[in-house]
Copies of this chain bind each other. A is one copy, B any other.
Amino acid sequence: MMRTTHGPMLSLLVAIATWVSAATPAASQGDPTAVSLVIRAGTVVTMDADRHVLSPGAVAIGGGEIRAVGTPETLAARFPTTFVLDVGSDLLLPGLINTHGHVPMVLYRGLADDLALMDWLERFIFPAEARTVTAEFVRAGTRLGVLEMIRSGTTTFSDMYYFEEESAIVTKEAGLRAVLGQSVIQFPVADAPTPADALVRAEAFIRDWRGDPLITPAVAPHSMYTLDAATLTAARDLARRHDVPVMIHLAETQAEVALSRQRHGASPTQYLNTLEFLGPNVLAAHAVWLDDDDVAILAARGVAVSHNPESNMKLASGIAPVPKLRAAGVVVGLGTDGAASNNDLDMFDAMRQAALLHKVASGDPRTLPAGEALAMATIEGARALGMEARVGSIEVGKQADLISVGIDDARHTPMYDPVSHLVYVTHGTDVRTTIVAGRVLMLDRRVQTLDEEAVRAEGRRWAARVRDAVR
């Protein structure tokens, strides 16, 4: 049995692991039980239905899938000649799932903060978008955002923006998994002068990418307040016709609710329900301002919610009724939102923030315990995206989307409970290994699929144009 560890052998290890990983699909094509790599970790946090934790533990992967989960001894006995990637004392867990964002907006991170919402939008975000969003911008921004996600342990993300075909190309190249929603909005935007054009683009995007192993195309009508009933209905029909997910912003601010009541005499949720827009393929982002009737509708229609605590706090949108939604049976995943309102894509922050915010909001420290916050960032996030059969936990037959977190530092010492640390201590910067569909995207904090310096330099070049655009 070959075995290697962190240390001076790193370069060789990178070469071998990349080779093993790349060789995997071909080698195992003929044999669905073939295993090409065994990962051995101090602790494996599976997030399976019983929340099994193995210390130490090991995971065998082949053909991009998880083929076995067990103790290192068991797996060594079963796969005696297989290459072993030993991640030392690291925690191995399912890759994190970011259920809401606008990835290319990393190019606007920190451009403007601490402003009233309309000031922020009208003086900075809208002018910047009008003057800088192009296919090239989306490519550069997605590359930078995907790099940040690989480095912070996100393996699946959901996106709502423009030129999603560019995002798809870049994401697939980098090796990440994504649900990409082509935006539909009433006013002219960079990639579509009318919502009808946007729907045509969305349909072409769906046709081009459906069936891809990493990219799930989707349609993203922006919100009930930026779209008329005809377009909302058309977006709904497009999604049904192709059986793809729908992403929409819902009840993010009190202003949206007031506008909906004024225009339609109904809450945003009630209004969308009367349009027969809501269903199990709909992922509603934010869902902050809901009354009991709204919660009941979301539960009855099987709509999933993406909770974005940091964005909701930073923009002072409000506190989503997450415990109430979950109690009603609504699936709630976590998201970062765009980096313009966060200001990063770190899903560990999202977990910690959710766990802390709902404790203080409810006045009860038992609200959203660590294990539930971690579930929201993994298996519940997978459920929210309709992908729970493929990702979100370490279980045999699922895709090998795994990350390892280093704990050999003062901050993680001592460790009484790995799940507590993952939620209350770990930062994205502690992630050491990121694997998607069995492909090693980052090893010992070296990203294998992107030229980091080139990606950052491209980001800095775009920032100069953004600065000019809002001058």
For residues 371 through 395 of chain A, which have their beta carbon under 8 Å from a beta carbon of chain B?
A: none
Q: Could you tell me if A413 and B113 are in contact, using CB atoms closer than 8 angstroms?
A: no
A362 contacts B by Cβ under 8 Å: yes
A307 contacts B by Cβ under 8 Å: no
Number of interface residues of A (CB under 8 A): 72
Find A430's partner among B152, B317, B319, B429 (CB 8 Å cutoff): B429
Given contacts A343-B420, A410-B148, contact A109 B313 (CB under 8 A): no
A456 contacts B by Cβ under 8 Å: yes
Q: Could you tell me if A370 and B414 are in contact, using CB atoms closer than 8 angstroms?
A: no
Residues in B neighbouring A115, C-beta threshold 8 A: 365-366
Q: Could you tell me if A427 and B425 are in contact, using CB atoms closer than 8 angstroms?
A: no
A357 contacts B by Cβ under 8 Å: yes
In the docked arrangement, what's the CA distance between A444 and B413, Å? 21
Residues in B neighbouring A148, C-beta threshold 8 A: 410-411
Find A370's partner among B114, B147, B313, B467 (CB 8 Å cutoff): B114
Residues in B neighbouring A463, C-beta threshold 8 A: 413-416
Q: Could you tell me if B424 and A343 are in contact, using CB atoms closer than 8 angstroms?
A: yes
Closest Cβ neighbor of A467 among chain B residues: B416
Residues in B neighbouring A203, C-beta threshold 8 A: none
A312 contacts B by Cβ under 8 Å: yes
A272 contacts B by Cβ under 8 Å: no
Q: Could you tell me if B313 and A151 are in contact, using CB atoms closer than 8 angstroms?
A: no
Closest Cβ neighbor of A254 among chain B residues: B363
Closest Cβ neighbor of A147 among chain B residues: B410
A408 contacts B by Cβ under 8 Å: yes
A316 contacts B by Cβ under 8 Å: yes
Write the residues of chain A forming the contact surface with B, with a CB cutoff of 8 angstroms: 106-107, 109-117, 120, 144, 147-148, 151-152, 310, 312-319, 342-346, 353, 355-357, 359-360, 362-370, 408-411, 413-417, 420-421, 424-425, 427-430, 452, 455-456, 459-460, 462-463, 466-467
